[in-house]
Structure formats: structure tokens, C-alpha cells
Amino acid sequence: MHRNMRNSFRWQEKPRMCYQPSDDLFYWKIHTKTPSFFSTLKQDAAAGSSSMMSLRALALIGASISGILSFGTITSADEAEHGLPAPNYPWPHKGILSSYDHASIRRGHQVYQQVCASCHSMSLVSYRDLVGVAYTEEETKAMAAEIEVVDGPNDEGEMFTRPGKLSDRFPQPYPNEQAARFVNGGAYPPDLSLITKARHNGQNYVFALLTGYRDPPAGVAIRDGLHYNPYFPGGAIAMPQMLIDGAVEYEDGTPATESQMGKDVVTFLSWAAEPEMEERKLMGFKWIFVLSLALLQAAYYRRLKWSVFKSRKLVVDAVN
């Protein structure tokens, strides 16, 4: 009787506790044969319809060749379009716990003021931001007082001009974008407040651009009014070379070579775009350390609580 019952139950699956691959329809779909492109080729060949096979094969080969060829034409047009990639310079503030070179920020601000401010605005930076970073409060107040700011209206309803204060933003060279374009041959000198964050690989790019004015390659002609710069996308930039040896006389006596001015002004621009960098690095280092300790604690606590289930033993009591 027992044997008969066993034979009659043969078609049933044995009781099981866990997932079997055959449960999954997706599993079946992968493991059953579905006709593919290549198998249709073989089938056609087997069936003797050689014309169909050669047409398919030709289509496949033709598509792949034209795809590869089009890549070739794209790369040759792209080089000047993207500009020469800037090399990676070893900026002193690059390390995980490195701060800015504040003397360099001070020199860079001097370069900005004397060379760049005639065309480029930095309308997001105020004079008070410089206090404690590049200048003392008295120096900054004196610097701000040199500019005239439109304020008002006064009690009589009129706008008036007054000397600048710490709370004023850096002065703008042009009243609006249209005026800037008109004076510069249609090109707009961008605002530099965030320029090192607004360009890919910003710090290296700006330094390479400022110090990278060279003769164009053979066969490349730049029209009047533009200048060749390999790092600028397209190669033709409206700005002429501005950093020339000796253009600025540094207060601290540093020799003002083109690359020295470039390094200082890019350090200044990096500070302007990321004034919080030093505090951010300190905070980041501290909190990554704290969170790693917390991770170790959490991992231990999880494993402690789960040890109950991980060491559980199940007994299967089935009659077969």
C-alpha cells in the first residue's frame, strides 16, 4: 500500500523550502531557444536561400563599416572644437587638507583689479569678503572708498553717489551685457565670480588659457579682431593676451612674470568661486572620520542583533 501510494504521487514535486529556478518565467525565457539574427542566417543557409543570407550579411557589414567611418570624421572635427585639454597643475590648495595660499590670493586680486577689472565684472563678490582673507579691514575700507557707488533715493527722492563701503559689491565695468558686447566687438567678457567652477577643469583651464596664447598651427587663419588660443573651444578667442611680463608691480616685490600672474589670479578666482573651501575640507575630514567610526559601530550592532537569526536551525519534518 505504501509503495502504491508512492508511485501514484510520483508526478508531484517533492516538498521544498526554497525558490527553484524553474519557478521563474524569466528563467524559462532565457533558457528556451528563441531565434536570433545569426540563427536565421544559418537557417537560410541551410534552406539553400543564399540570396537572403548574403543580403542580411551585407546589411550587417555595411552598417558596421559606415558606423566606424563616421566616427573617423567626427574625431577630426572635434579637436579644435573642444580645445586642447589643459594640463593638470599642482595647485598648492589641491590636497585633501590644503588651504589657499593667501599671499597668492592678495597678489591675484591686485592682478584682477589692474588687468581684468576693466572688462570683467565680479558682481557676486563684496569688499567685505576680502577682509581676513587677503587684506586687513582698514586696507579693504580704503580700497572700497576709492570707488563711487550710486545710492539712494535720499529724502529728496534723488539718487546720489557716495564713496564705496565694505558692504558694496565689486564695481561693474559696463552697465549691462549689451554695452559690454558693443565695446568688445560682440563678445561678452564673462563675469568671473564663479568662473573656475563654471568651466570644465576650471582652475587648470583658466591658467592654461591665460598663459597659452601662441601662434596658430599651419593652415589655420584667425580673422581680424580674434586671437588664437588652443585651449579655447574653437581656437579663436576675442580676448587678446592680457598677462604680459611686468604688467603689474607686485606690492611684495614678487617678479611679475606671465605665469606668476596667471597662478596668482587663478588662485584669487578659485577663492572667489569657493571661499568656503578651507572650512569645507576641515569639516569633511572630521565628519568622514566620525561617520566611519559610526559605520563600524552600526555594523557590529547589526550583526549582533541578526546573530539570532543567522544561527537559527530549521528542521524539515516531511512524510514522503
Partner 1 sequence: MADEELVDPKLYLEETCKPKCVRPLRAYQACIERIKGDESGHKHCTGQYFDYWKCVDQCAALKLFDKLK
CB of 222 to partner 1, least distance (A): 12
CA atoms within 13 A on the CB side of 10: 4
* From 29-37, 161-169, 189-197, 259-267, span contacting partner 1 (CB under 8 A): 259-267
Q: Report the alpha-carbon distance of residue 300 to residue 238 in Å, rounded.
A: 61
Q: Report the alpha-carbon distance of residue 181 to residue 312 in Å, rounded.
A: 76
* Angle formed by the axes of helices 202-211 and 258-273, nearest 10°: 150
Instruction: Out of 41, 45, 84, 149, name the contact with partner 1 by CB under 8 A.
Output: 84
Name which of 274, 245, 269, 279 is nearest 107 in CA terms. Answer: 269
Q: Is 270 among the residues that bind partner 1 (CB under 8 A)?
A: no
Q: Is 214 among the residues that bind partner 1 (CB under 8 A)?
A: yes
* From 13-21, 73-81, 141-149, 194-202, span contacting partner 1 (CB under 8 A): 73-81
Residue nearer to partner 1 on the CB measure, 104 or 121: 104
- 306 to each of 151, 291, 300, 301, 311, how far by Cα in Å? 68, 22, 10, 9, 9
CB of 279 to partner 1, least distance (A): 25
Q: Report the alpha-carbon distance of residue 89 to residue 189 in Å, rounded.
A: 25
Residue nearer to partner 1 on the CB measure, 218 or 316: 218
Instruction: Out of 7, 20, 76, 176, name the contact with partner 1 by CB under 8 A.
Output: 76
Q: Is 132 among the residues that bind partner 1 (CB under 8 A)?
A: no
* From 58-66, 83-91, 191-199, 293-301, span contacting partner 1 (CB under 8 A): 83-91
- DSSP letter at 148? E
Backbone angles phi and psi of 163, in degrees to 5: -65, 155
Q: Is 120 among the residues that bind partner 1 (CB under 8 A)?
A: no
Q: Report the alpha-carbon distance of residue 204 to residue 273 in Å, rounded.
A: 14
Q: Is 283 among the residues that bind partner 1 (CB under 8 A)?
A: no
- 133 to each of 99, 164, 179, 294, how far by Cα in Å? 11, 19, 33, 35
Q: Is 230 among the residues that bind partner 1 (CB under 8 A)?
A: yes
CB of 112 to partner 1, least distance (A): 17
Instruction: Out of 132, 185, 217, 240, name the contact with partner 1 by CB under 8 A.
Output: 217
Sorted by sequence, the CB contacts under 8 Å of residue 38 that are 6+ apart come out as: none
Q: Is 189 among the residues that bind partner 1 (CB under 8 A)?
A: no
Question: Total residues contacting partner 1 (rule CB under 8 A)?
Answer: 35
Q: Report the alpha-carbon distance of residue 194 to residue 271 in Å, rounded.
A: 9
CB of 255 to partner 1, least distance (A): 5
The SS3 assignment for 287 reads helix
Chain centre distance of CA 158: 46
Range 239-258, binding partner 1 (CB under 8 A): 245-246, 253-258
Which residues in this chain contact partner 1 in the complex, by CB under 8 A? 76, 79-80, 84-92, 103-104, 208, 211, 214, 217-221, 230, 235, 245-246, 253-260, 263
